[in-house]
Amino acid sequence: MNAIELQGIHKIFKPHKRPIVNALTDVDLTVATGDAVALTGHNGAGKTTLLKICATVITPNQGTGKVCGFPFKKHHDIRKHIGLLAADERSFYWRLTGRQNLHFFGALQNMSRRKVNERLEELADQFEVDYLDRRFDQCSTGMKQHIGLIRCLMHKPQLLLLDEPTRSLDIEATERFQRNMHDLVKKEGHTLLIVTHNHTLAHILCRRVIMVEEGRIVDERASESVGVGTAPRFVITTDALSPLELRTLKGSIEVENILQEPRKGRALVTTTNQPFALGTTLERIAGLRVPVYDCRPVEPETAAVTTAANETLPASDGGSSMEAGL
């Protein structure tokens, strides 16, 4: 069974005293159960509108569809099986704590208080959240995003509909999110449809990447990342590393090589293409309390030059005055 089946979806908005907006035009979309799909495209392309139609928050003007096996008109049944994370979340009660909010939303899903407490403990540990008892209006944007993710996952939905899920999250939180979503799709068989401008996230996490432009699906391509377990390589720029720091990092399977540049007082740490190598390496560097100044994907030609340079240097565990390729 497919988790999402849409045919001929049209959506027109008619704002008061403003021009008509053709948000979606003749869109067909099929997402198999257990699949992971990303929607990308410019702002205003129709991605969020398409996501909200799948969530039955918006009704299309034309077209038919099924979500989790139910037609659009059975929106109550659909909502029991989906978890929606909307951008610019406004549905939380700001004077309540995160925990009080989540108990309320759990009750709407017919979850008992005991079951909500058990699930909150599990998800708070999974996302490393320790601020559920803080008032929602006193949480940072990233904290609010985490609470929204927990609400989305609390009732263990079959289909996850996530709009910019890593918005406002730092690098470590983004990597943690990737690991959790990877496990949900690969190990537990959940279905994932996300809207994102983060192409790295889309290719790491999803099997298919769909481009939406001016309300139409204009391109679709398969992503090899989830299927074969590869991800982009990154170069992390840090302070020059001590012998102990070099030994610690070079023993990590997530690190491909390290190039010391003593004259510039820095080191270039290149990660492997394994999923989550970036997050794991950043966590290790943070544990060593080494400052990080830059982090960027490796371009193929840059990788070749870096590797060639490393091959000409003697490997050494010496101090930061020695250039070493590891």
Whether 45 contacts 197, CB under 8 Å: no
Note the pLDDT of residue 281: 86
If asked whether residues 42 and 181 sit together in one domain, one would say yes
Residue 324 within any structural domain of the chain: no
Domain final residue, candidates 170, 204, 228: 228
Question: Model-level pTM?
Answer: 0.71
Domain final residue, candidates 207, 228, 249: 228
Residue 325 within any structural domain of the chain: no
C-alpha to C-alpha distance for 209 and 167, rounded to whole angstroms: 18
Which one, of 177, 180, 300, 173, lies nearest residue 235 by Cα? 300
Share of the chain above pLDDT 70, in %: 87
If asked whether residues 246 and 161 sit together in one domain, one would say no
Residue 303 within any structural domain of the chain: yes
Whether 38 contacts 165, CB under 8 Å: no
If asked whether residues 169 and 247 sit together in one domain, one would say no
Residue 267 within any structural domain of the chain: yes
Residue ranges in the chain whose pLDDT is less than 50: 225-229, 301-326
If asked whether residues 123 and 209 sit together in one domain, one would say yes
If asked whether residues 158 and 294 sit together in one domain, one would say no
If asked whether residues 217 and 253 sit together in one domain, one would say no
| Number of domains observed in the structure of the chain | 2
Task: Give me the DSSP letters along 227-269.
Answer: HHT----EEEEEEPPPHHHHHHHHT-TTEEEEEEETTTTEEEE
Phi, psi of 106 (to 5 degrees): -65, -40
Q: Is 292 exposed, middle or buried (0-12, 13-18, 19+ CB in 10 A)?
A: middle
If asked whether residues 84 and 31 sit together in one domain, one would say yes
Q: Report the relative pairing of strands 36-40 and 208-213 from DSSP bridges.
A: parallel
Output the domain CATH number for residue 246: 3.30.70
For residue 10, the tally of other CB atoms under 10 A from its CB is 15
Residue 319 within any structural domain of the chain: no
Note the pLDDT of residue 298: 81
Output the domain CATH number for residue 16: 3.40.50.300
Q: 3-state DSSP call for residue 140?
A: coil
If asked whether residues 210 and 254 sit together in one domain, one would say no
If asked whether residues 194 and 249 sit together in one domain, one would say no
C-alpha to C-alpha distance for 121 and 243, rounded to whole angstroms: 40
Whether 240 contacts 266, CB under 8 Å: yes
Residue 320 within any structural domain of the chain: no
Whether 223 contacts 217, CB under 8 Å: no
Residue with tokens 């290149």: 270
Residue 317 within any structural domain of the chain: no
Residue 321 within any structural domain of the chain: no
Strand order in the sheet with 62-67: 21-32, 2-13, 62-67, 70-71
If asked whether residues 103 and 133 sit together in one domain, one would say yes
Domain that holds residue 297: 234-311
Q: Is 283 exposed, middle or buried (0-12, 13-18, 19+ CB in 10 A)?
A: middle
For 48, 136, 289, the CA distances from 284, given in Å and listed in that order, are: 36, 31, 9
If asked whether residues 163 and 273 sit together in one domain, one would say no
If asked whether residues 157 and 242 sit together in one domain, one would say no
Residue with tokens 């129709």: 46
C-alpha to C-alpha distance for 137 and 58, rounded to whole angstroms: 27
Domain final residue, candidates 180, 211, 228: 228
Q: 3-state DSSP call for residue 61?
A: coil
